Amino acid sequence: MPTITEIAQRFFETCEAGKGWDVCQAYCTPDASFSAQAEPLAGVHTLQEYADWMKGLLTFMPDGRYELRSFATDEDSNSVCAYGVFSATHTGQGGPCPPTGKSTTTEYVYVMEFAGDKIHHLTKIWNAGWAMKELDWG
């Protein structure tokens, strides 16, 4: 049986690759929740919505990629944290405005809370305002 660290790693890679909920749900409870104090995600409250949001993001930022900088498991709280840096350029149609051709390199953290061997809540810690300025979306 995979550990929560292995499950979190698989979820992280799948979500960041824009595979959407159809693939990500294998690592989550059906009603997994989501939270973030970031304007672009203000209306996103489930992990299903977030996984599909990431899938959509990569349609208009097709060169989107991440660099995983740190990954840690806290057995006491049954959670896993992943710190990454996402980079992309707005070149495709869609999104909040016509393509700007601008790029961003933005840091973020996922805190994945587990119920048994499934993620039941994900908090994304992200300075969205920084990314929005870099992309000229403001």
Residue 94, pLDDT score: 84
Structure tokens at 127: 């300075």
Token pair of 64, please? 């989107």
Query: What's the whole-model pTM score?
Result: 0.96
pLDDT value at residue 34: 98
> Which residues does 97 contact at the CB level (< 8 Å), separation at least 6?
137
Number of domains into which the chain is organized? 1
pLDDT in the model for residue 16: 97
- Please report, for the domain that includes residue 52, its CATH number: 3.10.450.50
Place of tokens 């995983």: 68
pLDDT reported for residue 138: 75
Strand partners for 34: 122
3-state secondary structure of 38: coil
* Regions of the chain short of the pLDDT cut 70: none
The whole-number pLDDT of residue 76 equals 96
pLDDT value at position 45? 98
State the pLDDT at residue 1: 85
Range of the domain at 14: 4-135
Provide the angle, in degrees to the nearest 10, between the axes of the packed helices 47-60 and 4-16.
40
Q: In 3D, which of 91, 27, 24 has the Cα closest to residue 64?
A: 91
Q: In the prediction, which pLDDT does 95 show?
A: 87
Q: Which spans in 1-138 are helix H? A: 4-16, 21-24, 47-60, 128-135
Any residues with CB less than 8 A from the CB of 19 and at least 6 apart, and which?
Answer: 51, 55
